Amino acid sequence: MPDPSSAPLTVAITGASGALGQALLRRFHGRGAQLIALCHGRTPLQLDGPDGQPIPLHQVHWQVGEEAVLEPLLEQVDVLVINHGINVHGDCSAEATGSSLEVNALSAWRLLELFAVVAQRREGRRRAEVWVNTSEAEIQPAVSPLYEISKRLLGQLLSLRAPELAQALRLRRLVLGPFRSALNPVGVMGADWVAGEILRQAEWNCSLIIVTPNPLTYLLMPLATLGRWAYVGLLRRS
């Protein structure tokens, strides 16, 4: 994580009004960050800190497919957390397929590429970071075919593009197990606890941040990323 002891971090989070988005905003506020809440919904987001005082945040409306509009805003951002997502559960219609791919995978990938372009222009500032919330569904069943497909696509795209993107950005992959939210009302973990663990591992300087009760993920996810890195590295043309 960039050194928080110098200037305050500016952190932007997509899916900010969701359970994990709000929990991350609170945790970053606790570390003195300036907050930008990127929301596709129009409902005003108001969060209170532990002292009961409102947490200052800049709420910005955005839409999937219109990521380019965010370019001027991203100039100010030190840490972009790509966190928005949907789960259509058993819906396998053409519409559900399109929205799952667009929201969970393609818009996240476009934001990632856009932020890398913006980060390349930074001079005299801390290295920009992007945290991509792919989910344990990258490698484990999630009882939701389109959720798995779209999150796996995002994870694969991140692995494919990581060597080039890492020239401009510090990349961190968030691989999370089930936590309670609108997306997963029966998750076993609490979003606030998950957010705390994410920031703890970022402070340990981890690039692969895993928070899950499933021990297999701690074994399989590093192997999967290593395998992809080797495969893409062998086939990549300069």
Ligand X SMILES: NC(=O)c1ccc[n+]([C@@H]2O[C@H](COP(=O)([O-])OP(=O)(O)OC[C@H]3O[C@@H](n4cnc5c(N)ncnc54)[C@H](OP(=O)(O)O)[C@@H]3O)[C@@H](O)[C@H]2O)c1
Catalytic residues: 147
Nearer to ligand X, 103 or 153 (CB): 103
Nearer to ligand X, 60 or 160 (CB): 60
Nearer to ligand X, 96 or 232 (CB): 96
The residue number with the shortest CB distance to ligand X is 18
CB of residue 126 vs ligand X: minimum separation in angstroms? 25
Binding site for ligand X (CB under 6 A): 15-21, 39-41, 64, 83-86, 103, 133, 135-136, 176, 178-179, 181-184, 187, 191
CB of residue 32 vs ligand X: minimum separation in angstroms? 23
To the nearest 10°, report the CA torsion of 134, 116, 79, 190. Answer: -10
Nearer to ligand X, 40 or 228 (CB): 40
CB of residue 90 vs ligand X: minimum separation in angstroms? 16
CB of residue 123 vs ligand X: minimum separation in angstroms? 31
